[in-house]
Structure 1
């Protein structure tokens, strides 16, 4: 692990020049003078030197040293190669006599190298639910609308892309207001982020992180966390600076889209580090997310789940997924492992066989089920949806999160695969444009947010047919098939009755006449 370094934001050209004086923050030259040392984010600190680069006023002096307490000078971070890779390169395997030779004066035992690899592999598996995953191939193929941020980069995967650089300045403004509104010093809040940043680094893709210095990563985590905290505050009753509120309002759909991308996430412990200084009411924030699937939200949807207070999300997308899925109140047996479902049913086909599609009374995705009333009426209910590009992207990214973080859907709770189940069920129902019309008429698809036309909606749903089979989806499709089989039997009985109606009537009439005659004869026989 690299030692802590001076706070030098990666993209210092966009950083506003702020000055920090005891008890006061001014938007001019952000420098801090403590115990005879002056600190200025943006460049490494050199002793007694004044530097003017790209219009920024940066004053520097000699540093002091510590990891999390004082910010220290560090002109250039040294890049450390992976010790496992290095040791592995020092191993040579002779496949002729199956002997291993170590070209190392320290006589490294090859089993230790393999042990480290195995340990690292196990750690990766253990972190599956908290890692910041890359897109699986099935999702990445859907296109940039579902995978690439439009306005702001959060985390390292999309950091530095040209079309996202304008938002870097906004991050610095967000940091300024976070610090000022918290009443703490820059150093205190930054140290809190540094304390968790190095651990959070492990959650990102190792190949990406190999090209990012430790101090650069810490600065990225700090500014991104401040941005997200201010964005979350906007959705609560807390006061947010008018300039930030204006920016968030102008790019509301874009920012919501970007902050809910799988590859554009910040580990929750980093966000919490800033929230300890600038408190966010999670109950209010989560309440603002409820019912987001619909254009018109039901006020009752703002209730927070009873177990939500104890939920620790991996990141913001994970929190949205938790709010959207809901909790299953029914205890159902686990489904067996299955690779495919050999049967399907479109919306129009279900209508033809007597299954009525109905919107659930809630937008929680877990509430999808077949409901049988007597023997003649059956309903299939699922959450209603206002389908536009932003909502479509969020659903796809939540499905990608389930795909990457859950090793096996069979045996796992239904909630773990609810988004995949929901999207796969819709993709099964929508096979032709007539099915899209049927979903509209049945109020499953609502509002004005539908994709451009029926063709676009059809293309969206049919593109999702390669999603993994969620347990809720498997249960419903088995119920549908079971209903089809029983209906076929009932239809055969009906057809037999229809074709043989005259004979059946004649037989019934004959039986009735015999019964009537017997009824008349019985008293006479008894009297004898």
Structure 2
């Protein structure tokens, strides 16, 4: 039967096909419709002809012995089999293409869980109003990639074909149950070429385009990158450009990150999150007090409001030295403290980016307490933003402090995003370390905080009294001069 596929916009690769030798029968040609023969499935029925000449279906039933019918499997074997399957899934957790976690399916987050401009991979294929219009762009991107690679259509598609089975195993089998290989493999080919062209585009100058949520296994991207001519894709520049997109105020000198060759990303989103989060050499405090709870602490509050922080003398401050998200920390001065939060440009694209990085952390890490702190960094960052925003005024204060930069989301949208995420995320060690640092500050400066809180709560009256005293002193000074 004929397999339906959208060929309205055919790749401009027909020229490649003219005069090419015949390919292997299992290799698909992107510009041509695909024919598929469906084999009749085997069954336990036999076709027989009766004495009257009529065809009948005769059911062949295997006789079962009484002993077989009463045979029962060992329950422990079933349990052990299920346990092994569960452990196998956990081992593959890091490389799977995860669905958006059910815990983040709130109404306020639904618009951030699906692509807005272009879909990559089968989970969101064809969804959204603007998505189908971008399919023609994928065909053009494939044409450009083939031209720039200097390879033939057969070679490029053959490379994708070689890793397609491995790529398919990265997706949820139930979600792809109705998607045949004859549809899946062309999808990997077009999406892979489009993604590589996007990455090349981001390396040119300083392009602030929306970054797609890359739902494509890295094995496909890596295979296509190896087909590119030298020097190939400058991954340091690409990662640095995307990292810059999270900031409105940037250093004039472009300083791309140094890539860790030992890190093997599951997909593009995982790669970018790895370098946006930053290294593990940070501490939640300058004096190390955030590493453990102070002996003076009697209890720990798992959340601290923006009012409590202000009454303790802890001021929210944008970290101007780095944009790495894991640099959240509490510092102490002589009289006050600071809670440093990395700044972020909160437009719609970056909001989607942050939400999906947090979702990725939830999917790959069942227990944040048993892994490195950086595995929960984005969740912690978003939880802290939710902790210090109770109303529109708090969001505006974050803008004044330059923690939230640029335009994009309104104060109402940002408040809905942060408070919605706070309800759905697991905080993790990065968050708890910051909370412990705040509690240590509170416990070690208990007497001073009481004095500071009194002054903070009564600052209007105190200013009025001081103004009155200054006025009286000035009047007495003037009266004395007359005398």
Please say if residues 19 and 32 of structure 1, whose CA atoms lie closer than 8 Å, have aligned partners that are also in contact.
Answer: no
Take 1:358 and 1:36, find their aligned partners in 2: how far apart are those partners? 62
Structure 1 residue 485, shift from structure 2 partner: 3.0
- How far apart are the structure 2 equivalents of 1:43 and 1:293? 42
* Number of positions where the alignment pairs a residue of Structure 1 with one of Structure 2: 409
Who is 1:153 aligned against?
119
Q: Is the 8 A contact 1:431 1:458 kept in 2?
A: yes
Is 1:195 aligned to residue 152 of structure 2? no
CA change 1:391–1:408 in 2 (3 A) is: same
Match of 1:123 in 2: 88
Cross-structure match for 2:243:
290
Tell me if the contact between 1:291 and 1:298 (Cα under 8 Å) persists in the aligned partners: no
Once the 2 structures are TM-superposed, how far is the Cα of residue 347 of structure 1 from its aligned partner?
Answer: 2.9
Are the equivalent residues in 2 in contact too, given 1:190–1:222 (CA < 8 A)? yes
Alignment CA distance shift 1:367-1:493 (3 Å): closer
8 Å Cα contact 1:44-1:75 kept in structure 2: no
TM value normalised by structure 2: 0.75
Instruction: Check conservation: 2:312, 2:452, Cα contact below 8 A.
Output: no
Is residue 302 of structure 1 aligned with residue 255 of structure 2?
yes
Secondary structure of the 1:303 match is coil
CA RMSD of aligned residues (A): 3.6
Alignment map for 1:47-66 (pairs within 5 Å): none
Alignment of 1:343-492 (within 5 A): 343-360=302-319, 361-374=321-334, 376-449=335-408, 451-452=409-410, 454-466=411-423, 467-490=425-448
- Deviation at residue 411 of structure 1 after TM alignment: 3.2
Q: Secondary structure at the match of 1:310?
A: coil
Structure 1 residues 233 and 114: CA distance shift in structure 2, 3 A? same
The question of whether the paired residues in 1 share the 8 Å contact of 2:94 and 2:266 is answered with yes
2:475 aligned residue: none
Residue by residue over 1:332-372, the C-alpha shift from the partner in whole angstroms, topping out at 9 and shown as x without a partner, is: 99989xxx974432334322321122111211011010111
Deviations along 1:400-437, one digit per CA (max 9) or x if unpaired, are 00000012111321111110110001100111233223
Matched, 1:227 2:194: yes
**What is the Cα deviation at residue 15 of structure 1?**
2.5
| Residue 491 of structure 1, CA deviation | 5.0
**Cα deviations across residues 263-296 of structure 1 (Å, max 9, x unaligned)?**
x510001011111112311112112122322123
**C-alpha contact (below 8 Å) 2:237/2:256 kept by paired residues:** no
Q: Deviations over 1:128-184 (max 9, x none)?
A: 111111111232223442011122221111113363222222212111121121111
Q: What is the alpha-carbon distance in structure 2 between the residues aligned to residue 79 and residue 407 of structure 1?
A: 40
Q: Which moved more, 1:487-496 or 1:217-226?
A: 487-496
Judged with a 3 Å threshold, the aligned counterparts in structure 2 of structure 1 residues 120 and 382 are, in CA distance, closer, same or farther, namely same
Correspondence 1:66-145 to 2 at 5 A: 74-76=36-38, 100-101=71-72, 117-141=82-106, 142-145=108-111
Compared with structure 1, are the counterparts of its residues 175 and 364 closer, same or farther at alpha carbon in structure 2 (3 Å cutoff)? same
Aligned equivalents of 1:145, 1:232: Cα separation in 2: 25
Q: TM-score, normalised by structure 1?
A: 0.69
Q: 1:162 to 1:12 in 2, by over 3 A?
A: farther
Task: Kindly indicate whether the alpha-carbon contact (under 8 Å) linking 2:303 and 2:387 is maintained by their aligned counterparts in 1.
Answer: yes
What is the CA–CA distance in structure 1 between the aligned matches of 2:23 and 2:358, rounded to whole Å? 53
Residue in structure 2 matching 1:13, options 8, 15, 33: 8
Aligned-partner Cα distance in 1 for 2:406–2:178: 45
CA deviation map 1:25-84 (0-9, x unaligned) = 4xxxx6664149997543235xxxxxxxxxxxxxxxxxxxxxxxxxxxx43488999xxx
Distance 1:399 1:492, change over 3 A: closer
- Asked whether the 8 Å contact 1:287–1:304 carries over to 2, the reply is yes
Distance 1:444 1:181 in 2: 41
The question of 1:271 aligning with 2:221 is answered yes
Shift of 1:315: 0.8
Give the one of 125, 133, 137 matched to 1:166.
Answer: 133
1:55 corresponding residue in structure 2: none
C-alpha distance 341-460 of structure 1, shift in aligned 2 (>3 A): farther
CA contact (8 A) 1:130 1:314 kept: yes
By relative contact order (CA 8 Å, sep 6+), the higher-ranking structure is 2
Alignment partners' CA distance in 2, 1:36 and 1:293: 45
Q: Aligned to 1:329, which of 269, 281, 284? A: 281
| Cα distance in 2 between the residues matched to 1:197 and 1:101 | 40
- Give 5+ residue unaligned stretches, structure 2: 44-61, 63-68, 294-298, 455-483
| Distance in 2 of aligned mates of 1:362 and 1:153 | 32
Structure 1 distance, partners of 2:316, 2:452, is 25
The equivalent position to 1:314 in structure 2, one of 257, 266, 279, is: 266
CA separation of 1:395/1:373 partners in 2, compared to 1, >3 Å: closer, same or farther? same
1:320 and 1:217 map into 2 onto residues whose CA distance is 25
Distance 1:351 1:126 in 2: 45
**2:144 matches 1:177:** yes
Decide whether the 8 Å contact of 1:403 with 1:468 is kept in 2.
Answer: yes
Maintained 8 Å contact 1:364/1:383: yes
